[in-house]
Structure 1
Amino acid sequence: MTSNRERRAKVQRMQRRVNYRRREGSLEDALWDRIAPVGREFGSPDFERLMEEDRRNRVGVFDPAMRQPIADQADRDVLVEFFKIARRWELTREEQAVLLGIDGAYVECLEGPLNLAALSDETRARLRDVMKISDALQVLLPIPERADAWVRQPNAAPMFGGATALSYMLRGRLSDLHDVACYLVAHCSGDFS
């Protein structure tokens, strides 16, 4: 248990760090302030009580001392893999945001030093479909460059109508990602109907 004196010193150090970074115009702090849950902003009246309550409930929110979120390791691992795929597919931030179904600024927090991994069920479903698509492409096209380029190649399949698979997925609906994943998994299993 920390004493009040230690807690005050910790808060003062944190405030100095935040104020210094604000003077420097840190992108990390701007993003931090933008996505901090309401009432849980550093220095708010109920900050300590709410953060303790969240710790007890194991909610994926920020730990102010570490400036790190309390989150599920499995979510972080899936996000790391997603960003590897995004680099291979040469996705822009906007494209990543559409595939994940989230705001573009939030994508930077997911990949950046905060590595926030408090994901919604829909985002988890989208990540699963992206993983299925990537895995199926590696099975169907064993040459990595071809597998990664497939998403940007025009596709004559009736489902795509001559457009690219990426443009189909970027329509923004979860069902679009799921359709592409099912299409590729069916091809892996030899079901071409």
Structure 2
Amino acid sequence: MNLAYAYPVSHFEPALVVDLNSRGARERLSASALKGFFKLAQAWSLRDEDACGLLGGVSTSAFYEWKKKPDRLLEVDRITRISYLTGIYKALHILYGDDLADRWVNLPNRNVIFAGKTPLAYMLDGGLLAMQTVRKLLDARRGGI
């Protein structure tokens, strides 16, 4: 059975998929990912220990070193975390004005997902999967899914 005719032809170009397992891709992305993360942490008024937690439990000494010299090779997990957080940041700024967008992660939230916690606490407790959930929630709210 030929399924080629079962689906309409797409008019969209396929998105480039970045292979984060590739050292070259991570070398290309790491410094800009870290610089972006530090700007995001400042915009969200994150405490250093919370920023370390969002990065996957980085020690404070490593965190301060990375802040001074962001030209290092990040692991797949850390780039993925920063990618989710950047997407969350972008979605918040599309949905809300800049002030609320930057405060949102620190505000208690009645959505059943957060159980009264702040989105930041939820992401710190739940790690990468919680970040993915928040990203999906915000993308759905803005009609991206």
- Equivalent-residue separation in structure 2 for 1:190 and 1:157 (angstroms): 19
**SS in structure 1 of the partner of residue 108 of structure 2:** coil
TM-score, with normalisation over the residues of structure 2?
0.76
Shift of 1:104: 2.3
Amino acid at match of 2:61: A
Higher-RCO chain (CA-CA 8 Å, sequence separation at least 6): 2
Whether 2:67 is the aligned partner of 1:111: answer: yes
Distance 1:116 1:103 in 2: 17
Partner of 2:125, secondary structure, is coil
8 Å contact from structure 2 (residues 35, 70) kept in 1: no
Give aligned pairs, total.
121
Task: State the SS of the aligned residue for 1:139.
Answer: helix
Aligned-partner Cα distance in 2 for 1:108–1:148: 22
When Rg is computed on C-alpha atoms for both structures, the one with the higher figure is 1
Q: Within the alignment, does 1:185 sit opposite 2:139 as a pair?
A: yes
| Offset from partner CA, 1:134-167 (integer Å, 9 cap, x none) | 01001100x2111001111111101011111011
User: How many percent identity over aligned positions?
Assistant: 31
| 1:72 Cα deviation from its structure 2 partner | 2.5
Moved over 3 A (4+): none
Unpaired segments of 5 or more residues in structure 1? 1-58, 61-70
In the TM superposition, what are the counterparts of 1:60-139 in structure 2 within 5 Å?
72-101=27-56, 102-112=58-68, 114-139=69-94
What's the CA shift for 1:190?
6.7
2:129 to 175, 179, 186: 175
Q: Which residue in the other structure is 1:28 paired with?
A: none
Deviation of 1:115 after TM superposition, in Å, equals 2.2
1:172 positional shift = 5.0
Could you list the per-position Cα deviations for residues 153-188 of structure 1 after superposition, in whole angstroms to 9, with x for gaps in the alignment? 111101011111011011152111111111111111
Structure 2: distance between partners of 1:190 and 1:115: 31
- Structure 2: distance between partners of 1:156 and 1:172: 17
TM-score normalised to structure 1 length:
0.58
**CA separation in 1, counterparts of 2:141 and 2:65?**
35
Gaps of 5+ in 2: 1-22
What is the deviation of 1:117? 2.1
